[in-house]
Amino acid sequence: MKKITSLLLFFAISFFANSQVNNYNVGDIVDDFTVTDVNGVEHNLYEYAVAGKYIYLDFFFDTCGPCQATTPIFNEFYDKYGCNEGELIMISVNDGTDGDQEVIDFEETYGGSFNHAPAVSADGGAGAVDSNFGIAAYPTYILIGPDTTLLENDIWPLTDVSTFEATFPIGLVPEVLECTELGVTDVQNVEFAIVPSVSNGQNISLIMESQEAKNIQVYDITGREVYSQNVNANNMVFSLNVSSGTYLLRVNTETSSATKKIIIK
């Protein structure tokens, strides 16, 4: 069964680790690679870099809960800044265990309502890239600069597009080039509130703004699901009997899903 690499070890050291990229440190020049996404389009890292692009990579696999929860945010980021037609490039890179059809199914199920970033499966060479970077846990989001150096080795915790925007180097102000009209527009975004978002875990209220929640899931920082409940309601109250820390609450509706951070003291 596929699972996050070295799950127990990562849980033990997660509060002390500085990176989920084992083979490069921030400031290192990364190796070139060429991959082919599930739509047959080829992507070469150094070609993007020579063109002055900043490249964001999303390392994932299809049954990874936090990957499922945060992929819509990555796709929204991709959509907002021009679908790889602007200064920023976004590519999702599988861990090498999923083929084209599995990655396509993953994107269709969990990719959200925005245009989806190019996704590369094992069939397109993703495994070699994942191994070259030495990815230790999933998802891992990184940033590579136009000089081919690693600028960010673990963009996390990921709450919304502003988390990515906070990684823009000084002087980088990419133009917003939304291309939503080219993508899926008939799926309503999931809007909800968590009250309180910082608590002892007891009597947490989930308040939906319009849609009805069908299911909620909570994941810890290692990607382990710690809570799941079928809802079928606009509002609910639940409790989490978990250790102090940061968690991801994912709300699933009939047509889409969204994720927000929740902190347990």
Domain boundary residue among 129, 153, 182? 182
Given a cut of 90, whether residue 59 has pLDDT beyond it is yes
* More confident site: 190 or 182: 190
- In a shared domain, residues 16 and 103: yes
pLDDT over 90, % of the chain? 59
E-assigned strand segments in 1-160: 34-36, 42-44, 54-60, 88-94, 119-120, 140-144, 150-152
Whether 58 and 69 have beta carbons less than 8 Å apart is answered as no
Q: Please name the residue that has the structure tokens 């596929």.
A: 2
Indicate if 119 and 62 belong to the same structural domain.
yes
Is the model's pLDDT at 244 over the cut of 50?
yes
CA 21, CA 212: separation in Å to the nearest integer? 38
Extract the tokens encoding 45.
């890292």
Rounded to an integer, the average pLDDT of 29-52 is: 92
Which of 105-109, 144-148, 258-262 has the lowest average pLDDT?
258-262
In a domain, 2, yes or no: no
**Whether residues 147 and 55 fall in one domain:** yes
Asked if residue 5 has pLDDT above 50, the reply is: no
Does 1 reside within a domain?
A: no
Q: Are residues 131 and 174 in the same domain?
A: yes
Kindly report the CATH number assigned to the domain that includes residue 259.
Answer: 2.60.40.1930
Instruction: Tell me which of 161, 182, 203 is where a domain ends.
Output: 182
Considering the domain architecture, whether residues 37 and 153 belong to the same structural domain is answered as: yes
Final residue in a domain of this structure, among 150, 182, 214:
182
Same-domain status, 225 and 176: no
Structure tokens at 174: 């990419």
Please give the residue that has the higher pLDDT: either 9 or 73. 73
Backbone angles phi, psi at 48, to 5 degrees: -65, -40
Please give the tally of structural domains in the chain.
2
Residue 187 is assigned to a structural domain of this protein: no
Those residues whose C-beta lies under 8 Å from the C-beta of residue 44, and which sit 6 or more positions away, are: 32, 33, 34
Please give the residue range of the domain that contains residue 178. 7-182
pLDDT in tens, 129-178: 999 999 999 999 999 999 999 999 999 999 899 999 999 999 999 999 87
Mean pLDDT (the chain) is 85
- Residue 178 is predicted with a pLDDT of 72
Report d(CA 83, CA 87) in Å as an integer: 10
